[in-house]
Amino acid sequence: MRIRWIVGLAATVGAMALPSVAHAQYATLTAAPGPLTVFLGPAGSCQVQYGTSATFEMYPTSSRPANCGTFLRVGTSLFNPGCCTGGTAFTAVSQSPVQGSGTLADPRRVTTVLEAGTTGLRLTVVDSYVGGQEAYRTDVTVQNTTASTQDITLYRAADCYLQGSDVGYGFVDSGAGAVGCSRTPNNSPADRIEQWYPLTAGSNYFEGYYGDVWSTIGQMQPFPNTCRCTEQIDQGAGLSWATTLAPGESKTFAHYTTFSPRGSGGPPPPPQPAAPNPNNAVTPGQVFRFPPTRRCVSRRNFLIRLVRPQGVTLLYARVSVNGRPTPVFISRERYMTIRGRVLLRRRLTARVDLRGLPTGRFKTSIRAVTRTLKVLQGTRTYRTCARRGSGGRPRL
């Protein structure tokens, strides 16, 4: 059976057992289609479930929340979420209902407000999640409400449990300053992971024996930027930020916590831009092919061709001469379907017949509509040629 230890503030203080965190109330953060469900205690603790697994990601594996969360050193005082280290538990001020729809523009989120005893420091913890991602985000804003400068270290850490195994290895992304617990040494080959990926600069990381993680926090030391990456141990991991807060100043510290059975670390991938729709980008010049207008039109019966660029679907087109529709109407296209793709069966043309009209200028207009209801319009003005006589042939 595992034993939890507290490290005292003085070297002469002996270790003592501390029970795991347990809260009668907690917020549940999730969003369709999952896979994460995040349990958030009112004093800053956390737990994560991946999919429908009955074994959770943090120790103890049946506790909601668990040995996971926010810790804060203020001067020579330490505050915790109710577990794992010496010091004093945060004062829970409030915890909001779950808000947001779970989309990238409007993530599901819970806001938890904590106070660090009588130090005058207030923490606002916003946990947010976008459905379909394997990571959730935590933003911790620490506000100094006093008239004095405050020296602090903020920690975000947990006791890892890799779904079915309480032992594992570690891995580090040194470029990002990210750290995690992994099923294989250095996550090679890639396998199940839990990772803390900082978004705020200036962080330190630590992966090691879980008791050493809690001991480092208990001694109020910054994390040492070390990883026992090739040793299989009962491990924990996390991030820390050391800074000072001027009177009235607030600072925010953000990171992702990623859970992936495939070993895919880092923040969620950026959304893929929507593929351009050629029906939206097409121009009239790409579709309409008018006869040239440099000379007069001798043959008063000619074709206007409608070219269909690749990917563009024309629903219909209508032609008019001097504002009056011609007898020609291009009806809805005939289609055939091959393997689910809709293709044109024929090329569209419009015949403009100016025979029988007097010599003069005639404005020919065409209006077409694409599948996305984009309207394309084009016009040409033609000058018909004079005849040589009442029975003469049109001049060529």
Choose from 85-94, 161-170, 272-281 the range with maximum mean pLDDT: 85-94
Answer yes or no: do 58 and 203 share one domain: yes
Query: Is the backbone peptide bond immediately before 107 cis, with ω within 30 degrees of 0?
Result: no
* pLDDT given at position 7: 34
pLDDT value for 85:
95
The pLDDT-based confidence of 381 (bands split at 50, 70, 90) is: confident
At residue 19, the 3 state secondary structure works out as coil
Looking at the structure, do residues 227 and 132 belong to the same domain, yes or no?
Answer: yes
DSSP letters spanning 335-365: EEEETTEEEESS-EEEEEE-TTSPSSEEEEE
Same domain, residue pair 217 and 338: no
The predicted structure's pLDDT at residue 298: 59
Q: Are residues 316 and 218 in the same domain?
A: no
Q: What pLDDT score was predicted for residue 342?
A: 38
CATH number of the domain where residue 98 is located: 2.70.98.40
Number of structural domains in the chain: 2
pLDDT score at 335 = 43
Question: Mean pLDDT lowest for which of 293-307, 329-343, 372-386?
Answer: 329-343
Q: Is residue 33 part of a domain?
A: yes
Domain boundary (260, 287, 320) is at: 260
Q: Is the pLDDT of residue 122 over 80?
A: yes
Per-residue pLDDT at 326 = 62
pLDDT interval class at 349 (50, 70, 90)? low
Average the pLDDT over 247-271 and give the result.
Answer: 94
Residue 317, in any domain of the structure: yes
**Is residue 393 in a domain?**
no
Q: What is the mean pLDDT of residues 328-348?
A: 43
Q: Is the pLDDT of residue 118 over 50?
A: yes
- CB atoms inside a 10 Å sphere around CB 379: 13
Highest-confidence range of 22-36, 190-204, 358-372, by mean pLDDT? 190-204
Q: Is there a domain that residue 184 lies in?
A: yes
3-state secondary structure of 92: strand
Same domain for 197 and 253? yes
From residue 261, alpha-carbon distances to 3, 157, 192, 194, 196 in Å are 28, 20, 4, 9, 15
Predicted confidence band of residue 394 (pLDDT cuts 50, 70, 90): very low
Residue 40 pLDDT > 90: yes
Burial of 164 (0-12, 13-18, 19+ CB in 10 A): exposed
Mean local confidence (pLDDT), 88-94: 97
Give residue 128's pLDDT band: very low, low, confident or very high (50, 70, 90): very high
User: In this structure, are 51 and 184 located in the same domain?
Assistant: yes
Domain that residue 366 falls in: 278-383
Q: What's the chain's average pLDDT?
A: 83
Which CATH number do you get for residue 313?
A: 2.60.40.10
In a domain, 265, yes or no: no
Residues 333 and 281: their CA atoms lie apart, in Å, by 20
Pick from 260, 290, 323: which residue ends a domain? 260
Q: Give residue 395's pLDDT.
A: 35
Do both 220 and 294 map to the same domain?
A: no
Are 198 and 312 part of one and the same domain? no
Cβ-in-10-Å burial (0-12, 13-18, 19+) of 28 comes to middle
Residues 181, 286 share a domain: no
Comparing 49-63, 188-202, 367-381, the range with the smallest average pLDDT is 367-381
- In this model, does residue 158 exceed pLDDT 80? yes
13-17, 262-266, 268-272: the lowest-pLDDT one: 13-17
pLDDT at 294: 63
Statement to judge: residues 93 and 125 lie in one domain: yes
Indicate if 316 and 197 belong to the same structural domain. no
Domain final residue pick, 206, 226, 260: 260
Q: Would 394 be classed as within a structural domain?
A: no
- pLDDT value at residue 275: 72
Query: Which region among 66-75, 105-114, 306-315 has the lowest average model confidence (pLDDT)?
Result: 306-315
Q: What is the pLDDT of residue 274?
A: 66
- 113, containing H or E segment: strand 108-115
Q: Is residue 390 part of a domain?
A: no
| Residue 284 host element (H or E) | helix 284-287
Q: Check whether 295 has a pLDDT greater than 90.
A: no
- At residue 371, does pLDDT exceed 90? no
Instruction: Answer yes or no: is pLDDT of 198 > 80.
Output: yes
Any domain includes 267: no
Same domain, 286 and 237: no
Name 272's Cβ contacts closer than 8 Å, sequence gap at least 6. none
What mean pLDDT is predicted for residues 243-257?
98
pLDDT at 340 over 60: no
Average pLDDT over residues 267-289: 77
